Chain A
Amino acid sequence: MLDALVNGFKRLWEVSDDVSPQRYRALGRLLSSLMIVVSVAPLLVLSWINYNQYQASMAREIEVPLRDVVQRTRTALEVLLGERLSTVSLISEAYSFDKLASDGDLAKIFHAMRGEFDGFVDLGLINEEGRQVAYVGPYELKNVDYSDQTWWREVQVHRKVVSDILSGARGTPHLVLAVGHLGEGGRSWVLKATIETRQLDRLLATVGQSGETDIFLVNREGILQTASANFGALFKKCPLELPQASWNITAGRVSAPNGARFAAAYASVPDTNLMLVAVKPEAEFMRPLSALQTDILLVLATGVVLIFVMTVVPMKLLMKRLQASDERRVAVFAQMEHTQKLSSIGRLAAGVAHEVNNPLAIINEKSGLAMDYLNAAGDFPRKERIVALIGSIGQAVDRARGITHRLLGFSRRMEANMQQMQLAEVIEETMSFVERDAQRRGVELAASLDRGLPEVTSDRGQLQQVFLNLVGNAVQATAEGGRVEVTLKGLDGDFAEVSVADTGCGMSREVVSHIFEPFYTTKKENGHGLGLFITYGIVRRLGGEIAVESEEGKGTTFRVAIPYVKPEKQA
């Protein structure tokens, strides 16, 4: 994966002459994605860390008050239940069974208890069979049998018992405080007091009151012992899965079967089967978190979109410019290569021509001398034939001389024949030479010349040669009914442009690439293949440029850029 990326990079960064759009698209894509990944990844990580940190600190912040509430409430509960249990215990110690079994005395004691502590509902004495033998209170409970009650069985073991919340025989929720007493002579009895749960409710409501906190009691079986705002009324089953509570307060997250989540703190209440639970719905305290989450997502999304746009758009522009500049570079290189090649060919051709001229001169003189002697000699067999042969040698020499002279024309040294002239005039003059040929061939010869151009300082004769060559070629390449148009216009900068456009047969790319080379000709019979070669040489020497565009079957356009003033530097 990494290797592939590195390789991709290497390949794309190599300075290559491949200027295909695919390459730039691939490069742009790679760079864009890299920049996007590099910018977006830290943003994502940061957001994620931020969110989690915040969540963790939120959770801590919610747990502390929950623990606190449980702590305070349990202390209050311990006090409430402890005081009352101690009172009952004290009475059972202070009075004998007989004393307590007397309704009058019991009522007196009960009255004193009520005076000291709120919440006592009634007081009863139960014999060892579980039957209530004496009772003071608002209900008719004398002689009720309690032997099947859980607290009754527990009191046999533990002596002091706080029962779960009961509805019991009277139908009102209450709490039983029972204290067993092993009297003298093996006679045992139980003193039982009842507290109304309003006491507990009030305590939970006042001590545990704290915002959205829901505080309640459950017994070991998970049955609600007080009403819960979240989980229903008394005696309903609490749906929370709470692990066994201990004296230490436990805090954490719990979920209800319906998927609702709560932060919870819970602990057991000593000396009872009760567990105190405080919960707070997650939705409540997580509201700021979800707001934060929205904010983070919004910022993140905006950031990502911005990064994307600010990466992709400039990258596209950059790639476009890179491609354009590369294309220019490649074109310039190609042009330079072409120029170099032609100038090398030109020098070579001139060198060859020069070297050939010397032996050619020798042949010329030798054959001339031979002819001299022949003329001086008397008649001999086949003299005529030999004279003719030597004559042919002279003709061949003339032909060869023509070729070498034209070849040397390419690199012929510049003549100091510069003069000022109107290009339009030179062109018109040149076109008049070709007009007759064009008429004969049925080719329309048109000119569109800007006569407002500045004068050009150049070599008139050589420019004529250039135009004559180009226009002549154009006329020859055009079939009857076709058209050759010569245009003169100014270019930006220091150049005038003469273009010669024909509607002729056009040339293939292959032909165009060789067109300025010597001896390259498409005219089978009457071309020597040096016309454009020499034209090119002249244009370059005059400090100009020549270019050709051609499409097979559509026509060809030659463009010659001519400087108004020839630059000092030799082209």
Chain B
Amino acid sequence: MGLKLLLADDETEYVDTLAERLELRGYEVKVVHDGTSALTSVENDMPDVAVLDLFMPGLPGTKVLAELNRRHPGLPVVLITGQTGENACGDGPAQQAFACLTKPVDFSDFIRIVSDAAQSRAGAGEEESSHG
């Protein structure tokens, strides 16, 4: 199944390569390089999972996450950061994310987590639709 992903990261080399690998595996990937574009992209074309870099020009990942949570509570968000540690994304809004991954991300882990995130949405999606 071709999951629809939004990748938002200002490291173009990184995010473009990651997108190419995902596309090779049949994902439908939309790449943006800043937070504002990420929000616009979601409005225009709702993805199954949004993958956000924590630090981006314009809106940082946490702000985007908060905004997305407000507008589309059902949309699962995965954060990626150059920070490390069990709590690399910090407390607060990041807690709302489905997962927080640290660079460099192991590709197979990435695939697994994105799939899980999409599934979580599928589970909650019915709920969301029933609420209208």
Contacts and interface: CB of A to CB of B under 8 A. Distances in A.
Q: Do A and B come from one complex?
A: yes
A347 B107 CA distance: 29
A357 B17 contact: no
Contacts of A358: 11, 14, 82, 103
Contacts of B86: 415
A368 B84 contact: no
A401 interface: yes
Contacts of B91: 413, 416
A361 B103 contact: yes
B11 A405 contact: no
B23 to A, nearest CB: 10
B28 to A, nearest CB: 17
Contact of B87 (A354, A355, A412): A412
A413 B90 contact: yes
B17 A365 contact: yes
Given A357-B102, A362-B13, A368 B107 contact: yes
Interface in B73-95: 82-88, 90-91
A416 B107 CA distance: 30
A372 B17 CA distance: 11
A366 interface: yes
B127 interface: no
Contact of B85 (A355, A368, A413): A413
Contacts of B122: none
B21 interface: yes
Contact of A415 (B21, B24, B87, B107): B87
B84 A408 contact: yes
Contacts of B13: 362, 366
Interface residue tally on A, bucketed by range: 20 to 34
B18 interface: yes
Contacts of A405: 84-85, 102
A365 B85 contact: no
B20 interface: yes
B2 to A, nearest CB: 17
B87 A413 contact: yes
A357 B84 contact: yes
Contacts of B132: none
A357 B21 contact: no
B84 A409 contact: yes
A341 to B, nearest CB: 23
Nearest to B80: A361
Interface in A411-434: 412-413, 415-416
A537 B37 CA distance: 38
A357 B82 contact: yes
A399 to B, nearest CB: 11
A354 B105 CA distance: 14
A353 interface: yes
B84 A353 contact: yes
Contacts, number: 71
Interface string A367-386: 01100100010000000000
Given A376-B24, A397-B104, A413-B90, A361 B14 contact: yes
Contacts of A413: 85, 87, 90-91
A360 B103 contact: yes
Contacts of A412: 84-85, 87-88
A413 to B, nearest CB: 6
A369 B17 contact: yes
Interface in A319-375: 353-355, 357-358, 360-366, 368-369, 372
A226 interface: no
A404 interface: yes
Interface string B12-43: 01100110110010000000000000000000
Contacts of A360: 103-104
Given A358-B11, A361-B11, A362-B13, A408 B85 contact: yes
A269 B97 CA distance: 136
B87 A362 contact: no
A369 B20 contact: yes
A401 B104 contact: yes
Contact of A365 (B21, B82, B88): B21
Given A409-B84, A413-B87, A413-B90, A368 B21 contact: yes
A369 B19 CA distance: 10
B33 to A, nearest CB: 14
A151 to B, nearest CB: 137
Contacts of B85: 405, 408-409, 412-413
A381 to B, nearest CB: 24
Contacts of A369: 17, 20-21, 24
A427 to B, nearest CB: 23
A405 B84 CA distance: 6
A397 B14 CA distance: 14
B114 to A, nearest CB: 15
Contacts of A366: 13, 17
A360 B82 CA distance: 10
A416 B15 CA distance: 32
Given A361-B14, A361-B103, A364-B104, A372 B84 contact: no
25 contacts: A354-B83, A357-B82, A357-B102, A357-B103, A358-B82, A361-B103, A361-B104, A362-B11, A362-B13, A362-B14, A365-B14, A365-B21, A365-B107, A369-B17, A369-B24, A376-B24, A397-B104, A405-B84, A405-B85, A408-B83, A408-B85, A412-B84, A412-B85, A413-B85, A415-B87
Closest 3 CB pairs of A and B: A361-B103, A364-B104, A361-B104
Given A361-B104, A364-B105, A397-B104, 16 more contacts: A354-B82, A357-B82, A357-B104, A364-B103, A364-B107, A365-B21, A365-B107, A366-B17, A369-B17, A369-B24, A405-B84, A405-B102, A408-B84, A412-B85, A413-B90, A416-B91
